[in-house]
Amino acid sequence: MYKDKSILAIIPARGGSKGLPRKNIKLLLGKPLIAWTIEQALNSKYIDRLIVSTEDEEIAEISQKYGAEIPFLRPKELAQDDTPTIDVIDHVIMKLNQQYDITLLLEPTSPIRRKNDLDKAVEKFIDNYDIFDSLVTLGEIHLENPIIVKRIKNDFVRPFIENDVKITRRQDYPKAYFPYGVAYLAKTDFLLKNKTFYGDKTGYLIIERYQCYEIDDIYDFIAVESIMKYLLERGVL
């Protein structure tokens, strides 16, 4: 709790990942991937309750071992490849007997969180509670800036975004950002009504370039493990 606002954190972790099978419990630096996010959430000063949403009994058992709460298993129909994350969050909120002021989504596939990232996100959101309905973590896009991204049309290379602006130096590109799963926060009422973390009053917290990863395949996993090892050795995480 921060400034009398209660906070529910939800970690979605289904067992049927395709790009990297069983990725949520694959060992990363000696611990299951999901354990990193659980421990980061438990180290927050402000999170009141931490729930892992999963349909998988092994993931549930491991999550409980590391301190998360699994009050119920997720229905199989909400653990499909095309299940929207917002439906999973909605299921958790509706199953609980208590509604929290704020819902915090933590993606286990974005485990590179610094020690105070979650508390900084909570503080910025609640300090601006009259202004923001939600807050997301953004990473600046560098090489993949939309200005230079291409598409293929009729076997020819074309700009992904059609415009007449000619920019030749990367330093002159307009800044662009991608939302990463380090943290998504929203007022629970806003989330239930709009079924999204995005609206006209969505705030942001900028994360470092080295945090801009989401594990979807083995190459992401190798990169994240290497970066986390480097950062842990230097006391950053």
Largest CA-CA distance found in the chain, in angstroms, rounded: 58
CATH architecture of the domain formed by 7-138+179-233? Alpha-Beta Complex (3.90)
Name the segment(s) of the chain with CATH classification 3.90.550.10: 7-138+179-233
pLDDT, one tens digit per residue, over 146-194 is: 888 889 999 999 888 887 667 667 777 888 999 999 999 999 999 999 9
Q: Which pLDDT does position 198 carry in this prediction? A: 98
Distance CA 121, CA 206 (A): 10
CA dihedral defined by 127, 133, 135, 141, rounded to 10 degrees?
-130
Burial class for 232, CB neighbours closer than 10 Å (0-12, 13-18, 19+): exposed
Q: Which pLDDT does position 1 carry in this prediction? A: 94
